[in-house]
Structure 1
Amino acid sequence: MSPSELMPIGLFARRCGLTSSALRFYADSGLLPPAEVDPVSGYRFYGADQLARATALRRLREIAMPLAGVEAVLAAPAAEASRLVDAHVAKVVGDASAALRKATAVVSSLGGGPGLPIGALKGPVLADAVEQVLTATAHETRLPVLGGLRLEADPGSLTLTATDRYRLSTRTLVPGTPPGRAWAGTLSGDDLRAAASGIRRSALVRLEAAPHGVWFRTGGREDHYARLLSEEFPDHRQALASLGAVTGRATVSKEPFLRALEEQPGGRVTLRVADRAVHVRPAEGGHPGTALPATTTGTALLIHFDLTTLHPAVSTAIGPELMLDLRGADQAVTIRSADRGDLTTLAMPVRHSRPTTKRPRTG
């Protein structure tokens, strides 16, 4: 390899995302030796053909893979390398779950007594509600609160809310045992996902607020704990209060609607609500789409959605029929059961003519 094709260690480090000191370490460990070393100065040079290996090495280390595992992955054929990565990730997830269970036991031992009762619900009902609402969360490093679930308790109800700013889901439940007083907090979505299966297997779950989280007491089974998030939750009440007036409505069967969305070839879909039907077709055209019988009111409307926004809102809705409350092509659509209104989801459309323009947010 000619000198003109080589990169000094600093330039190579910038290209592959590793530091110069990390490159020296990986060279000494035999994982990524330089293409050449100047015999006089000791300067290290790398070739462009080493960038892919260096990038893969960095990514494997970012998922906490030990050096021996990295070496095995880099030396293996593609199928075996994928298996090794999957096995490592499964171990990491298992270790994290075990750590969470142990941490829960530690927190329980430090609790010093029961927390503030904030309601009691049937386990399957609570688990369903948690999983339905959590579909509206998002993992964003800069806004971790968008991965959380807002829990609000008052003497008559427990309300669960989540939003990724382009979708908002909220469900209200009537507890068998009402809370002693009002309480509100935002719980870790990851903790709730880990707890959902255990909650579902419990006939009755009592919720108790602790200083830094909420306990889900299962009465004889393993209790579960969800941490409180400190960041302020988006003002979802203002988002709901500021919705425009409903100008049209469509009632459509859920399962055919869901199948029509799943059959669309692209990541964006168009709904045309008119003539006693909801027409589902790709936003970019080239596909005839599907016409679903519906009960409609109001003027005809053409509205565009990202499939990743609309599909979860439809799939988690309760009951065989859905009601869509329409407010215009650039306004949130409310999706709820036609006969049970305790789960409501707002889905924000996209501006199809300018796909790079930011969408309005729910909060």
Structure 2
Amino acid sequence: MPNFELMPIGVFAQRTGLTSSALRFYADSGLLPPAEIDPVSGYRYYSADQAARAIELRQLRQIAMPLGAVEAVLDAEPDEASRLIDEHVAKVVEDAEAVQQKAALIKSSLANVPRVPIATLKGPVLADAIEQVLTATARDPGMPVLEGVRVEATQEAVTLTATDRYRLATRTLVPAEAAPSAWAATVRSDELRAAVGEIRRSMLVRVEATSNGIWLRTSDRKNQHCRLLSEEFPDYRLMLASLPEVTTRLTVPKGLLLRALEEHPGEWLSLCVTRHGLKALAADDEHPGFSLPAAVTGQALQISFELTTLYPAISTAIGPDVMLDLRGPNQPVTVRSADRGDLTTLAMPIKPDHSA
């Protein structure tokens, strides 16, 4: 290669954003050997064709990718390189989450960190309540609080609430031992989900709060720590208080309704409620609707839902029969057990033209 086509290491460093020392390191590592080394002076020269590889190498190191993975990406086809980058980013995020959780755990374990007793609850009951409201959480980068579960404690009850803006699930528990004062915070749903297994196998769980999390303490199992979210939780109580009056109420066997929803084709369905029962309109000529027996009071109406909104609301209801309180085709429907009202879910309908 003629010398006029080569760049000294300093010029190549300026063009690629790498320092001369970094270029020497990558040359010695085999990732980016120079195009030519002067046998007398030892000066290193690089070609313009190497600039793209050098820039990509720098960018990969900027996202903390180890050398072995960098080499694999540089030598891979575009699709494979993208996959390797995604794997690395996922691991970095996972590691960061683990570090944050361990840091919060260490801080909460410090002797001088005040702990506030919240309540003592039956472990299996608390585990069921957590799993029921978790169906209404959502991962939304624009609203991180939707990934949380609102925990509110008074001397009379502990209430768990979650919402993804299309559903709202709330469950009220009677504590075995109540706290001396009211307390409320939003807890990370992923860490509550991870704690469910230990909670379920514990007869009693004592809930304690610190400034950055809650402890779920048991007498014979590993204590669980869950971090808090700082974002403000939606004012769901105001929304509940502003709901119109119920115009139609129907009670239907939960098992029959779930089976019908599972077999229903498509992503949405329209329900007709009359004094004769509950009927789903046909999706098309090849997929007829279904009819179910139901006890109905109030006005007849037609209402439409996304299946992904309605099904979880029905499936988490407690008991053999589910009660639906309807307020009109464009108002939230309240779903709860026909004989146990401690779990309540609100599900948003869609417009008759099936838009959100």
Q: In which range does the TM-score fall when normalised by the shorter chain? A: 0.7 to 0.9
1:239 and 2:217 correspond: no
Q: Which blocks of at least 5 consecutive residues in structure 2 are unaligned?
A: 1-15, 24-29, 33-45
Name the SS of the counterpart of 1:149 in structure 2: strand
Deviation digits for residues 130-155 of structure 1 (CA, Å, limit 9, x no counterpart): 11011101111010001111111111
TM-score when normalising by structure 1:
0.74
Provide the C-alpha distance between the structure 2 equivalents of 1:284 and 1:107, rounded to a whole number of angstroms: 58
**Is the Cα–Cα contact under 8 Å of residues 156 and 175 in structure 1 kept in the other structure?**
yes
Q: Which residue matches 1:123?
A: 123
Q: Which residue matches 1:262?
A: 262
Q: Which residue matches 2:180?
A: 180
Provide the C-alpha distance between the structure 2 equivalents of 1:182 and 1:141, rounded to a whole number of angstroms: 30
Displacement, 1:215? 1.1
Provide the C-alpha distance between the structure 2 equivalents of 1:159 and 1:90, rounded to a whole number of angstroms: 34
Deviation digits for residues 7-57 of structure 1 (CA, Å, limit 9, x no counterpart): xxxxxxxxxxxxx989xx9xx969xxxxxxxx9975989xxxxxxxx9xxx
Name the SS of the counterpart of 1:296 in structure 2: strand
Deviation digits for residues 83-133 of structure 1 (CA, Å, limit 9, x no counterpart): 999998997898678657744641343253661111100111101101101
**Is the Cα–Cα contact under 8 Å of residues 214 and 226 in structure 1 kept in the other structure?**
yes
Letter in 2 for 1:181: S
What is the correspondence of 1:68-107 to structure 2 with a 5 Å cutoff?
68=68, 71=72, 99=99, 102-103=102-103, 105-107=105-107
Provide the C-alpha distance between the structure 2 equivalents of 1:256 and 1:275, rounded to a whole number of angstroms: 18
Deviation digits for residues 248-297 of structure 1 (CA, Å, limit 9, x no counterpart): 11101111111111112211112111243222346566421221111111
Q: Which residue matches 1:219?
A: 219
Displacement, 1:213? 1.4
Letter in 1 for 2:138: A
Q: Which residue matches 2:152?
A: 152
Q: 1:326 to 1:64 in 2, by over 3 A?
A: farther
Q: 1:120 to 1:297 in 2, by over 3 A?
A: same
What is the correspondence of 1:162-201 to structure 2 with a 5 Å cutoff?
162-201=162-201
Q: Which residue matches 1:341?
A: 341
Q: Which residue matches 1:300?
A: 300
Superposed CA RMSD in Å reads 3.9
Q: Which blocks of at least 5 consecutive residues in structure 1 are unaligned?
A: 1-19, 31-38, 46-53
**Is the Cα–Cα contact under 8 Å of residues 274 and 299 in structure 1 kept in the other structure?**
yes
**Is the Cα–Cα contact under 8 Å of residues 108 and 213 in structure 2 kept in the other structure?**
no
Q: Which residue matches 1:327?
A: 327
- Aligned pair count reads 313
Q: Which residue matches 2:277?
A: 277
Q: 1:141 to 1:286 in 2, by over 3 A?
A: same
Provide the C-alpha distance between the structure 1 equivalents of 2:295 and 2:342, rounded to a whole number of angstroms: 21
Q: Which residue matches 2:141?
A: 141
Q: 1:40 to 1:189 in 2, by over 3 A?
A: closer
Provide the C-alpha distance between the structure 2 equivalents of 1:229 and 1:105, rounded to a whole number of angstroms: 15
Name the SS of the counterpart of 1:228 in structure 2: strand
Letter in 2 for 1:310: L
Q: 1:163 to 1:91 in 2, by over 3 A?
A: same
Question: Quick check: 191-200 or 324-333, which moved more?
Answer: 191-200
Provide the C-alpha distance between the structure 2 equivalents of 1:124 and 1:97, rounded to a whole number of angstroms: 27
Q: 1:288 to 1:66 in 2, by over 3 A?
A: farther
Letter in 2 for 1:268: W
Provide the C-alpha distance between the structure 1 equivalents of 2:315 and 2:85, rounded to a whole number of angstroms: 31
Letter in 2 for 1:186: T
